[in-house]
């Protein structure tokens, strides 16, 4: 007779699998359920960075000043396809409200707490999962095309300094020592030495899946269509398959999570940042650190699978076809910014980043039952915050006091 697991985790991305391993470490039996299998979504195509210094929310007065110019460029750092503009209007209103200075300050404090926890949990988690050799400490260089652009960044760097984050402002000569081959158009830069990355995000998530299975966990493919609270657990309905039951369910299905939450009566304003990238062969450029072109909304990263050029934000939902002209536009810029970059032989990709208006994830119980825990909405910080989120969810599921205050991450704060 089949014995139901203690917990079903819906979502086999980096947050879901990290959480599953944290629950296993607490002695619980775990099944992971995913529509397409491990590392099939945003967890496979991200830039591979543990961006612990990214404590500032996307929603801010600064972004409001830049947004009109960016939105006029359909291939720029921030775009909304015309076919999706009306549908996203309510989310954009919430985003605008989140740009109020008091809310930005509160979101920054909450993001800092989650970042600090995630950084503290990361190396023990990597050690326990056998993935510590994948960790890299190569830093990050943010570059600026003018003194005005550099000066505009200084309040953000001061906020980081206030939270003890180390960095160093540089001129062209120092920048060239950190990363040779930059275009002379970049006159200033800021290097963050404590910036971590993973050798390859897809390999990392697949390794987590293998560790979960080696420790007795199960991974199933199936499309969850509804969560049904029961007296002593939760039933997960599957499209075209037999329902699965468990004592507890963790919903960590990324950009698809809000659809299942809606079936429980929880309307959570999750939107999809469609991210684009191109992965070039590893010989395309002598990249020594991750380089962020903040004024253009993309990064260039060295992975074991190649040189990845990607980023930007397209708020376009789940159903519109990819617009790979965005990938091509970033690649053309990258070639201009790194004149020695060879752009032949690249592979293009588009993935969905699950984003809430204030840049904080939703972590907490469903209204319908404490047996369902939400853990989604990390935007472009899912990899960064995976170990911290796993710790928090494991605390909630096992009845321990969470390591940080979860009120700012309430799924119902909107």
- Mean pLDDT within 403-409: 97
Q: What is the pLDDT of the chain when averaged over all its residues?
A: 93
pLDDT tens for residues 64-86?
A: 677 667 665 777 777 888 888 88
Q: How buried is residue 354: exposed, middle or buried, by Cβ count under 10 Å (0-12/13-18/19+)?
A: buried
pLDDT at 71: 65
Q: 64-99+137-194+271-355 has which fold?
A: D-Amino Acid Oxidase; Chain A, domain 2 (3.30.9)
Share of the chain above pLDDT 70, in %: 98
Q: Stretch 199-215: mean pLDDT, rounded? A: 97
For the segment 132-146, the average pLDDT, to the nearest whole number, is 96
Describe the crossing of helices 14-25 and 386-397 by its angle, rounded to 10 degrees.
Answer: 50
Tell me the per-residue pLDDT of 38-61, one tens digit each, with 9 for 90 and over: 988 888 888 899 999 889 888 887
**Rounded Cα distance, 402 and 101, in Å:** 27
Model confidence at 21, pLDDT cuts 50, 70, 90, reads very high
Domain coordinates in residue numbering, the chain: 1-60+100-136+195-270+356-414, 64-99+137-194+271-355
Query: What pLDDT digit, counting tens, does each position of 369-390 carry?
Result: 999 999 999 998 999 999 999 9
Confidence category of residue 132, pLDDT binned at 50, 70, 90: very high
Of the candidate CATH numbers 3.30.420.40, 3.40.30.10, 3.50.50.60, 3.40.50.300, the domain formed by 1-60+100-136+195-270+356-414 belongs to 3.50.50.60
Three-state DSSP class for residue 199: coil
Contacts of 1 (CB under 8 A, 6+ apart): none
For position 1, what pLDDT does the model report? 53
What does the alpha-carbon distance between residue 261 and residue 372 come to, in Å, rounded to a whole number?
Answer: 10
pTM of the model: 0.94
255-305: pLDDT as tens digits: 999 999 999 999 999 999 888 999 999 999 999 999 999 989 899 999 999
Q: Which residues pair with 307 in a beta bridge?
A: 280, 302
Phi-psi label, residue 399: left if phi above 0, alpha if psi -120 to 50, beta otherwise? left
Looking at residue 67, its pLDDT comes to 67
pLDDT tens digits for range 307-364: 999 987 888 889 889 989 999 999 999 999 999 999 999 999 999 999 999 999 999 9
Residue 175 in this model has a pLDDT that exceeds 70: yes
* C-alpha dist (Å) from residue 84 to 5, 88, 129, 270, 317: 40, 6, 40, 14, 7
């Amino acid at each position: 007779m089949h014995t139901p697991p203690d917990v079903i985790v819906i979502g086999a991305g980096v947050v879901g699998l990290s959480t599953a391993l944290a629950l296993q470490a607490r002695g619980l039996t775990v099944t992971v359920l995913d529509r397409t299998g491990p590392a099939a979504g945003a967890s496979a195509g991200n830039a591979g960075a543990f961006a612990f210094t990214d404590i500032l929310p996307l929603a801010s007065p600064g972004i409001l000043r830049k947004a009109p110019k960016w939105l006029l460029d359909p291939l720029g750092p921030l775009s909304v396809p015309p076919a999706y503009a009306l549908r996203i209007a309510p989310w954009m209103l919430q985003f605008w409200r989140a740009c109020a200075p008091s809310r930005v300050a509160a979101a920054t404090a909450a993001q800092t707490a989650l970042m600090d926890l995630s950084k503290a949990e990361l190396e023990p988690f990597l050690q326990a999962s056998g993935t510590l050799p994948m960790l890299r400490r190569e830093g990050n260089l943010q570059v600026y095309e003018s003194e005005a652009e550099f000066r505009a960044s200084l309040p953000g760097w001061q906020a980081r300094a206030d939270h003890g984050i180390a960095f160093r402002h540089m001129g062209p000569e120092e920048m060239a020592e950190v990363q040779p081959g930059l275009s002379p158009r970049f006159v200033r830069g800021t290097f963050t030495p404590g910036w971590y990355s993973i050798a390859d995000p897809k390999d990392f998530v697949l390794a987590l899946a293998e560790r979960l299975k080696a420790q007795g966990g199960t991974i199933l493919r199936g499309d969850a269509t509804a969560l049904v609270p029961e007296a002593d657990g939760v039933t997960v309905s599957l499209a075209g398959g037999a329902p699965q039951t468990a004592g507890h369910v963790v919903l960590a299905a990324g950009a698809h999570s809000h659809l299942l939450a809606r079936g429980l009566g929880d309307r959570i304003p999750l939107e999809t940042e469609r991210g684009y990238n191109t992965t070039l062969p590893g010989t395309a450029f002598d990249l020594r650190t991750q380089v962020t072109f903040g004024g253009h909304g993309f990064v260039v990263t060295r992975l074991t699978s190649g040189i990845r050029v990607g980023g930007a934000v397209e708020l376009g939902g789940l159903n519109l076809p990819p617009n790979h002209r965005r990938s091509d536009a970033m690649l053309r810029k990258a070639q201009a910014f790194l004149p020695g970059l060879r752009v032949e032989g690249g592979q293009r990709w588009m993935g969905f980043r699950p984003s809430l208006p204030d840049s904080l994830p939703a972590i907490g119980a469903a209204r319908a039952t404490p047996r369902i825990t939400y853990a989604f909405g990390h935007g472009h910080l899912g990899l960064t915050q995976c170990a911290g989120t796993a710790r928090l969810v494991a605390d909630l599921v096992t009845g321990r006091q969470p390591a940080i205050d979860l009120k700012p991450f309430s799924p119902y704060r909107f």
